[in-house]
Amino acid sequence: MDTFSGLYHGFSIALLPGNLLLLTAGCILGTLVGVLPGIGPVGTLSILLPVTFQLEPAGAIIMLAGIYYGVMYGGSITSILVNVPGEAASVVTCLDGHQMARQGRAGPALGIAAFGSFIAGTVGLIGLLLVARPLSAIALRFGPPEYFALLTLGFVLVVALSRGSRIKGLVMAFAGLILSSVGLDPITSQQRMTFGLLPLFEGIGVAPLAMGLFGLAEVFRNLETPVSGQRADIRIGYLLPTRRDWLQAKWAIARGTAAGFLLGILPGGGPVIASFVAYGMEKRMAADPGRLGCGAIEGVAAPESANNAAASTSFIPLLTLGIPPNAVLAVLFGAFLVHGVLPGPLLIRDHPDVFWGVIGSMYIGNTVLLILNLPLIPLWVQVLRIPGRILHPLILLFCLVGAYSINHAVFDMAVMIAFGVAGYLLGKKGYEGPPLILAFVLGPLLEVNLRRSLLMSQGSFSIFLTRPIALGAILCTALLAAAPLRRSIRRRHRRIPRPVPRGGTGNESLDKGEKKP
Amino acid sequence: MDKGDIVAAAGWLLLSAFAFAASLELGVGEARNPGAGFLPFWASAGLALSAGLLPLSAVWREKGSPQGTRAREKAPRTSRRRNSPIAVAALVLYCVALPLLGYLLSTFALMLVLFGLGETSPRTVVIGSLITALSSYGLFAIALGTPLPGGVLGF
C-alpha cells in the first residue's frame, strides 16, 4: 500500500460512522476536560483511558487521539479567558491571550488560536504522513543495539528537559525502570518482585499507574488548593480575526509551526517546549518586542501553532519507532498495548487499519475541532463555572470505576490509589511524573534490547560503538549528559571574576522588569 | 534541605535497597548472559546513586543562592489541607467496602464524604451522593455493561 492509497484507506476507516462519532466524542471530551484548569493532557488521557477499553483498537486509538487534540485546544481557552493555563503548553498563551481578552478581544484571540492550531496541526500531519513510511522502513533495519542506544537517548533527553531538578528527574526515571521490571522476566519468564501476587505476574498496569500518578494526584492537589484566577465573566464577541490580525499573525503561525514540527519529533520535546521556544522566537524576531506580553496576537498565534504542530509530529517516533517522545504519548503507548497493538516499524504492516486510521482521523479531528469548538466556546465558558467541589469527587469516582473496569478487580483500584498518593506527595517535593511514566513504559523495551545486544556481542559493550546509528545516539547521549556539568563549571568560572556593580544585585535584567515567559 | 526532602531521599534509598536485594536473589548474570536481575540491579544502583546526590545538590544550591539561604515556599495552612488525607482515606475504605457492600452502597458512602469536603449543605450532599451513585451505576453497569460488584444488595 503506497502513501496515498494508505491515506485513502485511513480516511475510509476514520469516516466510518462509528469512528467519526468516537473521534467527535474524543475531541469534545478532550476539550471539556482540557478546559478545566488543573487537569493536564496526561491526566486527561489517563482519566479517559478506561472509556476506550471496550472499543475496537482502531476506534479506541482514534478516540484517544481526538481526546489529545481536544485537550490541547481546551487548554488555550482557559489561558485566554481566565488566565489559568489548562495545561503546561498553554502557559505562554496566557501572556498575550488574556491581555487580549481584557482588551475586549477574547474572540479574535480564541479564533486565531483555533485557526493557528488547525493550520499547524495540518502541516504537522502532512509531515507525519511523509516521514512515517520511510522512517518505518529504516527502523525495520534497526537491531537491538540501535534501539537500546535510541531509547537511552530518549531517557536522557527527558531528564535533561525536565522542568524541575534534573537529579529528581533521574531518580524518577530509575524508579520507573524498577517498577517496569515487576512481573515476569521478558526473556526467562522468571517472577520478579511479584510477592507471589497473581495480579502482579503481568506487571503493574500502565493505566492504573498513569491514572494514579497524573489523574488522582492532580485531583488531590486541587482538593486542597482552591483554583485562583478570575472567573470567566469576559465577553467573547466576534470570533473571527480581522484582516489586520491575520497580517500580524501569519508569520508567527509559520514560525510556530516550523518550531513545533521539529521539536515535536525530538524525544523529550513536545508541545510544552515548542510553545515556549515559539514565543521566545517571536519575541526576538518581532519588529516591536515591547508589544508582546501586552495583548499582541502574534503572542497567541505562535505558541498555539507550535504546540499543535508538535502534538502532530510527536506521533512520528511513536508510530514509526515505537518510542513515545513525551509523557502524553507514553500514556498513549500504554493505550496501544492495552488494545493489543504494539506501536513501531511493524505497525503499518501488522495493523494498517490502526496506523492509517489514526492518521486519517487526525486530519478529520483537526477539522472537527475547528468546526465544533468555535461555536461551542460559550458552552466551554459555562463549564469553567462548575465548582471544584462537584467536579473533583466526580473525577475521583470516574478514575475508580475506570481502574476497576480494566480487570474487574479491586487490586487495580488499590494500585491506582497508591500511585495517586505517591504522585501527590512527590509532586509536593518537586518530583515530576513524566520521567517515571516514560521509563516505566520504555523499561521493558530497553531491557530486552540491552540483553539481546549483549547476547549478540558475547558480553561486549563495544557493540554500541561499532554500529553507526547506535554510536551516533550514544555520542548525543554523552553530550547531553555532560551538558549540565559543563554549564555548571562555566557558571562557576564566570562567577569568580565577574565584578558586581556598585549597588547592583547582579540581576539587573530582571530588575528592569523583563518578563520571563 | 527540609525534612520532607530527607524523608524522600531515604525512601528512594529503601526502594533501591529492596530492588538491589531482589536482583541479587534473581541472579544478575554476567555481561555475556544477563540474568533476570540484570536491569533491576543497574536500575537500583542508579537510583541509589542519584538519591545519594539529592542532599548534595540541595547543599550546593543553598550555597549558590544569595546569602547562602533559599526562600522556601510553603503552602498556606488552610482547612482545605486536610481534604486530601480525608479523600485518600475514603478511597482506601472504598476499596475495602466495594466487594462487601456492593457498588451502590459504597459509592453512596464515598460520595457523602467527598461532596462533604466541599462545604456544601448536608441536604445537598445527601441528594448529590444519591444521584451520583444511581446515575453512575446506570452509566457504567447498565449502559456500558461493566460488571460492578453487587454486594449485600445483590445487584
User: What's the confidence (pLDDT) of residue A504?
Assistant: 38
Banded model confidence at residue A424, pLDDT cuts 50, 70, 90: very high
Angstrom CA distances, A43 to A46, A469, B58, stand at: 5, 35, 29
The secondary structure of A95-120 as a DSSP string is HHHHHHHHTT-HHHHHHHHHHHHHHH
CB contact under 8 A, A454 and B32: yes
In whole numbers, what is the pLDDT of chain A averaged over residues?
82
User: What's the confidence (pLDDT) of residue B69?
Assistant: 47
Q: In whole angstroms, what separates CA B109 from the centre of its chain?
A: 21
Q: Which regions of A128-268 does DSSP assign to beta strands (E)?
A: 183-184, 191-192
User: Distance from A294 to chain B by nearest Cα, in Å?
Assistant: 29
Q: What is the average per-residue pLDDT within A132-147? A: 83
What digits encode the pLDDT tens for the residues B8-28?
Answer: 889 999 999 999 999 999 988
Q: Which of A47-56, A321-330, B58-67, B108-117 has the lowest mean pLDDT?
A: B58-67
What digits encode the pLDDT tens for the residues A6-32?
Answer: 888 888 988 999 999 999 998 888 888
Q: Which of A32-36, A305-309, A498-502 has the lowest mean pLDDT?
A: A498-502
Q: Which of A273-277, A466-470, A478-482, B67-71 has the lowest mean pLDDT?
A: B67-71
Report d(CA A327, CA A323) in Å as an integer. Answer: 11
**List of chain B residues whose C-beta atoms are within 8 Å of the C-beta of residue A405:** 140, 146
Q: Which of A99-103, A158-162, A510-514 has the lowest mean pLDDT?
A: A510-514
**List of chain A residues whose C-beta atoms are within 8 Å of the C-beta of residue B91:** 396, 400, 413, 417, 420
Residue (of A309, A311, A352) closest to A329 by Cα position: A311
Name the residue with higher pLDDT: A431 or A91. A431
Banded model confidence at residue B78, pLDDT cuts 50, 70, 90: low
Largest CA distance in chain A: 72
User: Distance from A503 to chain B by nearest Cα, in Å?
Assistant: 15
Nearest residue in chain B measured CA to CA from A401: B140
Q: What is the average per-residue pLDDT within A58-63? A: 88
User: What's the confidence (pLDDT) of residue A230?
Assistant: 47
- Grid coordinates representing A295 are 495583548
pLDDT at A136 over 50: yes
Banded model confidence at residue B128, pLDDT cuts 50, 70, 90: very high
Candidate from B15, B91, B120 with C-beta closest to A417: B91
CB contact under 8 A, B39 and A450: yes
User: What's the confidence (pLDDT) of residue A155?
Assistant: 78
Look up residue B43 and give its DSSP letter: H
Q: In whole angstroms, what separates CA A426 from the centre of its chain?
A: 20
Q: 3-state class of A233 per DSSP?
A: coil
User: What's the confidence (pLDDT) of residue A229?
Assistant: 46
**List of chain B residues whose C-beta atoms are within 8 Å of the C-beta of residue A413:** 91, 94-95, 98
Bridge partners of A183, per DSSP, are A192
Give percent above pLDDT 90 in chain A.
Answer: 11
Candidate from B8, B83, B107 with C-beta closest to A223: B83
CB contact under 8 A, B26 and A459: no
Banded model confidence at residue A392, pLDDT cuts 50, 70, 90: confident
Phi-psi domain of A83 (left: phi exceeds 0; alpha: psi -120 through 50; beta: other): left
User: What's the confidence (pLDDT) of residue A480?
Assistant: 79
The secondary structure of A379-429 as a DSSP string is HHHHHTTS-HHHHHHHHHHHHHHHHHHHHT-HHHHHHHHHHHHHHHHHHHT
Name the residue with higher pLDDT: A327 or A267. A327
Chain B residues 79-138 with a CB less than 8 Å from chain A = 80-84, 87-88, 91-92, 94-95, 98-99, 107, 110-111, 114-115, 117-120, 128, 132, 136
Candidate from B5, B19, B114 with C-beta closest to A396: B114
User: What's the confidence (pLDDT) of residue A292?
Assistant: 83
Our separate counts of H helices and E strands in chain B read: 5, 2
Q: What is the dihedral of CA A75, A81, A82, A84, to 10 degrees?
A: 20
User: Distance from B134 to chain A by nearest Cα, in Å?
Assistant: 13
Name the residue with higher pLDDT: A390 or B79. A390
CB contact under 8 A, B146 and A401: yes
Interface residue B55 vs chain A (CB under 8 A)? no
User: What's the confidence (pLDDT) of residue A453?
Assistant: 92
User: What's the confidence (pLDDT) of residue A491?
Assistant: 67
pLDDT at A509 over 80: no
For B93, counting Cβ atoms within 10 Å of its Cβ (0-12 exposed, 13-18 middle, 19+ buried), the class is middle
Report d(CA A82, CA A38) in Å as an integer. Answer: 13
CB contact under 8 A, B43 and A177: yes
CB contact under 8 A, B50 and A389: no
User: Distance from A389 to chain B by nearest Cα, in Å?
Assistant: 5
**List of chain B residues whose C-beta atoms are within 8 Å of the C-beta of residue A390:** 115, 118, 128
Return the number of CB contacts < 8 Å for A and B.
Answer: 163
Report d(CA A121, CA A115) in Å as an integer. Answer: 10
**List of chain A residues whose C-beta atoms are within 8 Å of the C-beta of residue B14:** none
ipTM confidence score: 0.89
User: What's the confidence (pLDDT) of residue B71?
Assistant: 47
pLDDT at A512 over 60: no
Candidate from A413, A429, A451 with C-beta closest to B4: A429
User: What's the confidence (pLDDT) of residue B114?
Assistant: 92
Banded model confidence at residue A493, pLDDT cuts 50, 70, 90: low
Q: Which of A34-48, B62-76, B84-98, B141-155 has the lowest mean pLDDT?
A: B62-76
Pairing assessment for the beta strands A183-184 and B29-30 based on DSSP bridges: unpaired
pLDDT at A505 over 60: no
User: Distance from A396 to chain B by nearest Cα, in Å?
Assistant: 9
What digits encode the pLDDT tens for the residues A292-332?
Answer: 888 889 999 999 999 888 888 888 888 888 888 877 888 88
Which segment, A210-224, A368-382, A397-411, B42-56, is predicted with the most confidence on average?
B42-56
Banded model confidence at residue A161, pLDDT cuts 50, 70, 90: low
Q: What is the dihedral of CA A450, A451, A455, A461, to 10 degrees?
A: 40
What digits encode the pLDDT tens for the residues A351-384?
Answer: 888 888 888 888 888 888 888 777 887 788 777 7
In whole numbers, what is the pLDDT of chain B averaged over residues?
84
pLDDT at B61 over 80: no
Interface residue B58 vs chain A (CB under 8 A)? no
pLDDT at A222 over 80: yes
Task: Name all contacts of B27-34 with Cβ < 8 Å and 24+ positions apart.
Answer: B30/A459, B31/A454, B31/A459, B31/A460, B31/A461, B32/A454, B32/A455, B32/A458, B32/A459, B33/A454, B33/A455, B33/A459, B34/A450, B34/A451, B34/A454, B34/A455
At a CB cut-off of 8 Å and minimum separation 6, what does A428 contact?
B4
Name the residue with higher pLDDT: A476 or A2. A476
**List of chain A residues whose C-beta atoms are within 8 Å of the C-beta of residue B50:** 167, 170-171, 174
CB contact under 8 A, B54 and A460: no
User: What's the confidence (pLDDT) of residue A1?
Assistant: 67
User: What's the confidence (pLDDT) of residue A233?
Assistant: 58
Angstrom CA distances, A76 to A121, A256, A265, B126, stand at: 15, 15, 22, 36
At a CB cut-off of 8 Å and minimum separation 6, what does B106 contact?
B94, B97, B98, B100, B151
What digits encode the pLDDT tens for the residues A61-88?
Answer: 889 888 888 888 887 887 888 776 666 6
User: What's the confidence (pLDDT) of residue A492?
Assistant: 65
Report d(CA A11, CA A28) in Å as an integer. Answer: 20
At a CB cut-off of 8 Å and minimum separation 6, what does B53 contact?
A167
**List of chain B residues whose C-beta atoms are within 8 Å of the C-beta of residue A177:** 39, 43, 46
CB contact under 8 A, A447 and B31: no
Pairing assessment for the beta strands A191-192 and B29-30 based on DSSP bridges: unpaired
CB contact under 8 A, B111 and A175: no
User: What's the confidence (pLDDT) of residue A308?
Assistant: 87
Q: 3-state class of A223 per DSSP?
A: helix
User: What's the confidence (pLDDT) of residue A177?
Assistant: 93
- Count of residues making up chain B: 155
Residue (of A225, A273, A268) closest to A428 by Cα position: A225
